[in-house]
Chain A
Amino acid sequence: MFEVQDIMSSPVHTISTEKSVFQAASYMKKLGFGGLPVIDNEKLVGIITSSDIYFSHPNRLVADSMTKKVIYCSPADIIWDVVTQMTKYNIKRLPVVNKGHLVGLLTKSIVTKYMGNQYDPLTSIHNSIYIYQLANRLITEGHEISVILFDINNFGHINKEYGHVYGDKCIKNIAEIISKHINNDCDFLCRYGGDEFVIVSLRKVNDASKLVQSVVAAVKKESIEMGKPLSISAGVCGGQRKHARKSANKVIENLINKASLASTKAKRIGKEYLLCVDS
């Protein structure tokens, strides 16, 4: 779910240029919409919103009252980019156009729902949907990334021994600890799954491993303060990737998978973390 066509609403309610403002207002009221794309000869020529209607005589043609300079996007645009533009320019409705034809609409409510789906409700940090999009973006832009995967040791045992409420508290604590240690300019954190956290980082692998060390140490300290066992293992993966721009998604999946396997192996052999460097 990276492209606009995955979340846009379609088909779209529209109005034609020869309708009056009064007719447009009635139609919008009936639909409960705050705006409508305007179509002429099957092409998008404008958008009429409640504020256009407010300032226009009801007898006017839609053609004379619509906003003619329409910002639009294409179905294959990356949602991330489009949402950024919508937020920046306070756009409430963004038509989706393919070869001049209106094929969908992106509204603020769709975007809000989509953005909400990118957060983990327990920890309030992002979830894996976000991290996949972000990593895709970074790789497409030509950045080299490292992936760190943290995994709570014996989490099943913690849940059974101390209860699930305590288990949730551990997850929250870990999320807070990692959040405090990352640099928001180059490290991007998410709760990947149950007791797994992923950082996509612009750091080189060796620098990323330093971050891992500091997080592992902080969790140890937290465990001592809590008086209960809590520790994490980590896998770090990164390196040069040829032709990465062409298959960003596969690269991300591959990196996360390798980091996950490295974390499992680290746990198995009793290490705090393992590095996995691709060449």
Chain B
Amino acid sequence: MNSIIEDRGSRKADINIRFSDFDLPPMQDVLLIGRRAAIGPEAVRRMVDALAPGQYEVIEMENGHIEAIAVKVELFNWVKRERLVDMILEEVNMFTCEKSLIKAKLSITISITREVDI
């Protein structure tokens, strides 16, 4: 009597799990929303209102391919609102399009040099 033994081998899966803190909300200091991005300003507004109420301002743009910009309001304590928005838009216009959804992290350092009498 002949028997055929088939060796199919063994199959294993390696699972790696990485735990980390969730960014709340899942965006950084600034979020730039293109006119044809996967989410729009109203969706972002509802998200930040739900997850980080009062911490972000969604500013809608009338022209250009960026429809809106969500900015952490705390930044306006450091730099004037218009100045900051203008500067960000000026920089991103070079590499964004209507479908862009770009997050940005700002690092503001204020250098002070004072001369005092000794």
Interface flags for A40-66 (1: CB within 8 Å of B; 0: not) read 000000000000000111011101110
Are B43 and A64 neighbours in the complex by a CB distance under 8 Å?
A: yes
- Chain B binding site: helix, strand, loop or mixed by DSSP? loop
User: Residue on B with the closest CB to A64?
Assistant: B40
B104 interface hit (Cβ, 8 Å) = no
Interface flags for A13-35 (1: CB within 8 Å of B; 0: not) read 00001100000000000000000
Are A59 and B39 neighbours in the complex by a CB distance under 8 Å?
A: yes
Task: Please give the number of chain B residues whose Cβ is less than 8 angstroms from any Cβ of chain A in the complex.
Answer: 10
User: Residue on A with the closest CB to B33?
Assistant: A64
A-B contact count (CB 8 A): 31
User: Residue on B with the closest CB to A21?
Assistant: B40
B49 interface hit (Cβ, 8 Å) = no
Q: Looking at A18, A55, A61, A65, which has the most chain B CB atoms within 10 Å of its CB? A: A61
Interface range, A side: 10 to 19
User: Residue on B with the closest CB to A65?
Assistant: B40
Q: Which residues does chain B contribute within 8 Å of A64, judged by CB atoms?
A: 39-43
Q: How far is the CA of A193 from the CA of B89 in the complex (A)?
A: 68
Are A63 and B36 neighbours in the complex by a CB distance under 8 Å?
A: no
Are A57 and B37 neighbours in the complex by a CB distance under 8 Å?
A: yes
Q: Which residues does chain B contribute within 8 Å of A18, judged by CB atoms?
A: 46
Those of A51-100 within 8 Å (CB) of chain B? 55-57, 59-61, 63-65
User: Residue on A with the closest CB to B68?
Assistant: A64
Are A59 and B42 neighbours in the complex by a CB distance under 8 Å?
A: no
Q: How far is the CA of A18 from the CA of B42 in the complex (A)?
A: 9
Interface flags for A249-272 (1: CB within 8 Å of B; 0: not) read 000000000000000000000000
B38 interface hit (Cβ, 8 Å) = yes
A positions within 8 Å CB-CB of B: 17-18, 55-57, 59-61, 63-65
Interchain Cβ contacts under 8 Å between A and B, 5 examples: A57-B36, A57-B38, A60-B39, A64-B41, A64-B43
Give me the 6 closest cross-chain CB pairs, A-B, nearest first. A64-B40, A63-B42, A59-B38, A57-B38, A61-B43, A64-B42
Can you name 18 extra interface pairs (CB under 8 A) apart from A56-B40, A60-B43, A61-B39? Answer: A17-B42, A55-B36, A57-B37, A57-B38, A59-B38, A60-B37, A60-B38, A60-B39, A60-B40, A61-B40, A61-B42, A63-B40, A63-B42, A63-B43, A64-B40, A64-B41, A64-B43, A65-B40
